[in-house]
């Protein structure tokens, strides 16, 4: 006897469609990020028009194909009109969102859904407008788990009247979905939407549209982080090689050993101290494998280096540390201070006649940690540094590039110099404090 055929209820069909829709958007996002060209577009926030067009068509064609699948095959889960246009605007700007919205709305327009095209374009503009208003990093922090802390974010906004951009990133897609339901209900057969019949299904439908936006962003952000870690690995190795080269080169060793030989007879204890410091410095560099360390550890490494240089310069070198206690456990990129201090000694104090001073300063300011290395040396003429740190020595270039790769293009090494008076090298990084002290 043949088994009885069972059909899904309306609620079961809607729930299945929503689940498959999330799977479809995740598959599309994963497939796109596997292409190197598309992945490279995610790494920059300022894209030229050719790059915007590549992004628009790379993402818009799958979204448009999903609409065609719905129209021809009745495969409702493939329709990503709202999420696709909104994401394109959110990631690449309003005009890119309009292009993706047009690619999604035109097939529906030919099928008689006359409101689909203006609605899709509006979604692209909404995403682009939100992108222009909120910080770019807030967009990349948007994830499917945003709901777990949404109540705390809302309370923080009520209490301090400071906008938490995760809240608009949630509410705008929900508002667009509610608008789509309203237009679809008012103009029947002129706009496609998944109709919810119960309060629970209403909630799941709104949840699904938020996840349809958050899932691709989470996938793409993971790819961005992976790329940055790979770049950081390469830059860290370059920094280690540069630090070892600058400190183990024959000139450095010759000066250090000459200082030791001159101290052996007159001041053997100080000679022993120099050898110990040199050994500790080299051992620390050779055995350091982490990408990050605390500022406290960086200062310990600098102490060993400066103790050796103090023997060379004698009383002509003065070190002044103005380190705020609340910055000692801040996480910084490894070996970020040594090139700055070495640059001050080599290019600032060595050519200077008379006593020299190096000041190392750190403060926390408005969610950032600012670290400065200041010398009163010869200074650098503006004509010799047309583009600040980007044209400096290898060590400074490395520091500048590592800051840019780790934290974004807005974080760079800055140099302020006055010929004959000195130079200030400043590093500004986002605040991240270690839960406990890290040991070497």
Position 150 scores a pLDDT of: 66
Residues with Cβ within 8 Å of residue 438, at least 6 apart in sequence: 290, 293, 294, 297
Phi, psi values for residue 248, rounded to 5°: -110, 0
Position 12 scores a pLDDT of: 84
- Distances in Å between the alpha carbon of 150 and those of 143, 154, 240, 358? 12, 6, 42, 47
**Would you say residue 33 lies in a domain?**
yes
Q: Are residues 311 and 404 in the same domain?
A: yes
* 317: enclosing H helix or E strand: strand 317-323
Position 217 scores a pLDDT of: 93
Position 437 scores a pLDDT of: 41
The owner of tokens 């080169």 is 249
Position 382 scores a pLDDT of: 58
* Whole-number Å distance between alpha carbons of 184 and 116: 10
In angstroms, how far is CA 435 from the centroid of its own chain? 21
Residue closest to 62 by CA, chosen among 45, 83, 47: 83
**Would you say residue 297 lies in a domain?**
yes
Position 22 scores a pLDDT of: 92
**Would you say residue 235 lies in a domain?**
no
- For residues 235, 239, 242, 247, the Cα torsion angle rounded to the nearest 10 degrees is -170
Which portions of the chain are predicted below pLDDT 70? 1-7, 149-151, 154, 157, 160-161, 237-238, 240-253, 255-256, 259, 284-291, 381-394, 433-440
Residues 179-184: contacts with CB under 8 Å, at least 24 apart: 179/119, 180/82, 180/119, 183/115, 183/119
**Would you say residue 250 lies in a domain?**
no
Domain that holds residue 375: 288-430
Q: What 3-state class would DSSP assign to 346? A: helix
**CATH number of the domain residue 311 falls in:** 3.30.565.10
Looking at the DSSP assignment, which residues form a beta bridge with residue 372?
Answer: 361, 426
The last residue of one of the domains, among 207, 227, 247, is: 227
Task: Count structural domains, the chain.
Answer: 2
Q: Taking CA 224 as the corner, what is the angle to CA 59 and CA 130, rounded to the nearest 5 degrees?
A: 60
pTM of the model: 0.59
The last residue of one of the domains, among 227, 252, 276, is: 227
Instruction: Answer yes or no: are the C-beta atoms of 216 and 87 closer than 8 Å.
Output: yes
* Whole-number Å distance between alpha carbons of 438 and 349: 33
* Whole-number Å distance between alpha carbons of 165 and 135: 8
Q: Are residues 294 and 415 in the same domain?
A: yes
Q: Taking CA 135 as the corner, what is the angle to CA 133 and CA 388, rounded to the nearest 5 degrees?
A: 120
Position 138 scores a pLDDT of: 86
Tokens of 295: 């500022």
**Would you say residue 107 lies in a domain?**
yes
Q: Are residues 80 and 163 in the same domain?
A: yes
**Would you say residue 214 lies in a domain?**
yes
Residue closest to 337 by CA, chosen among 387, 372, 379, 290: 372
Tokens of 383: 């004509």
* Whole-number Å distance between alpha carbons of 33 and 27: 10
């Amino acid at each position: 006897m043949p088994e009885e055929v069972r059909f899904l209820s309306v609620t079961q069909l809607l729930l299945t469609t929503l689940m498959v829709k999330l799977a479809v958007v995740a598959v599309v996002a994963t497939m796109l990020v596997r292409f190197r060209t598309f992945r490279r577009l995610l790494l920059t926030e300022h894209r030229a028009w050719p790059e915007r067009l590549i992004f628009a068509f790379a993402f818009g064609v799958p979204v448009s194909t999903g609409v065609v699948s719905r129209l021809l095959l009745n495969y409702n889960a493939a329709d990503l009109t709202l999420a696709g246009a909104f994401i394109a605007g959110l990631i690449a700007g309003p005009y890119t969102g309009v292009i993706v919205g047009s690619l999604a709305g035109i097939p529906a327009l030919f099928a008689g859904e006359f409101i689909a095209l203006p609605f899709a374009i509006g979604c692209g503009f909404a995403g682009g407008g939100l992108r222009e208003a909120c910080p770019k990093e807030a967009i990349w922090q948007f994830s499917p788990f945003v709901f777990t802390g949404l109540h705390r974010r809302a309370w923080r906004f009520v209490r301090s009247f400071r906008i938490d951009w995760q809240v608009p990133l949630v509410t705008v897609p929900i508002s667009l979905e509610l608008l789509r339901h309203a237009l679809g209900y008012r103009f029947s057969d002129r706009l496609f939407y998944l109709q919810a019949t119960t309060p629970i299904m209403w909630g799941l439908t709104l949840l699904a549209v938020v996840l349809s936006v958050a899932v691709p962003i989470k996938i793409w952000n993971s790819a961005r982080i992976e790329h940055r870690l790979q770049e950081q690995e390469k830059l860290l190795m370059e920094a280690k090689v540069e630090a070892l080269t600058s400190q183990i080169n024959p000139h450095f060793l010759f000066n250090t050993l000459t200082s030791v030989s001159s101290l052996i007879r007159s001041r053997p204890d100080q000679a022993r101290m120099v050898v110990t410091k040199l050994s500790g410095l080299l051992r620390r560099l050779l055995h350091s494998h982490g990408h990050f360390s605390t500022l406290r550890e960086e200062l310990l490494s600098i102490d060993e280096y400066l103790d050796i240089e103090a023997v060379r310069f004698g009383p002509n070198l003065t070190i002044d540390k103005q380190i705020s206690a609340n910055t000692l456990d801040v996480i910084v990129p490894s070996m970020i201070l040594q090139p700055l201090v070495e640059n001050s000694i080599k290019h600032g104090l060595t050519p200077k006649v008379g006593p020299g001073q190096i000041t190392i300063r750190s403060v926390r300011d408005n969610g950032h940690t600012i670290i400065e290395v200041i010398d009163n040396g010869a200074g650098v003429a503006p004509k010799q540094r047309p583009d600040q740190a980007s044209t400096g020595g290898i060590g400074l270039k490395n520091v500048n590039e590592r800051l840019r790769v780790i934290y974004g293009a807005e974080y760079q090494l800055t140099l302020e110099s006055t010929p004959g008076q000195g130079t200030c090298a400043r590093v500004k990084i986002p605040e991240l404090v270690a839960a406990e002290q890290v040991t070497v």
